[in-house]
């Protein structure tokens, strides 16, 4: 069973959360999610436990408990939903989808340009 662990301290490591869950049963994996640019913890992670009853006991026992000075949130992980990674980014709003700002230069009729030149 995959378990979500939220509100982690930025000092939490895979080993830290693995040890917290091992007292309830076998932990097959533990990972802390990190920012891809800075490498710093994003404050949440996932623990995988092979026996569902042990995982449920761990969830009930650890949810709301303190780990490294922060009250963690523990729950069964939900499957990821499609967040539009195939080019769509949550609805079309002109060029905001691509992040490119379009500047439209107004076309000034030549008759107005001539009038401005004469001043």
Domains assigned to the chain: 2-76 (3.30.70.330)
pLDDT recorded at residue 96? 47
- What Cα–Cα distance (Å) separates residue 59 from each residue in 9, 12, 44, 80, 105? 18, 18, 15, 19, 59
Measured between alpha carbons, how far is 53 from 49 in angstroms, rounded to an integer? 9
Task: List the pLDDT tens digit at each of the 119 positions of the chain.
Answer: 999 999 999 999 999 999 999 999 999 999 999 999 999 999 999 999 999 999 999 999 999 999 999 999 999 999 888 765 554 445 444 444 445 554 554 555 555 555 555 55
Going by C-alpha positions, the residue among 48, 41, 30, 35 that lies closest to residue 8 is 41
pLDDT recorded at residue 24? 97
pTM of the complete model: 0.67
pLDDT recorded at residue 116? 54
């Amino acid at each position: 069973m995959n378990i979500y662990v939220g509100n982690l301290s930025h000092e939490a490591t895979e080993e830290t959360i693995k040890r917290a869950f091992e007292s309830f049963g076998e932990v097959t994996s533990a990972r802390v999610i990190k920012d891809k640019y800075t490498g710093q913890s994003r404050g949440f992670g996932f623990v995988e436990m092979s026996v569902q009853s042990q995982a449920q006991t761990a969830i009930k026992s650890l949810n709301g408990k303190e780990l490294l000075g922060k009250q963690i949130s523990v729950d069964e992980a939900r499957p990821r939903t499609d967040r539009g990674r195939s080019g769509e980014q949550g609805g079309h709003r002109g060029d905001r989808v691509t992040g490119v700002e379009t500047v439209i230069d107004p076309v000034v009729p030549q008759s107005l340009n001539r009038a401005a030149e004469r001043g």
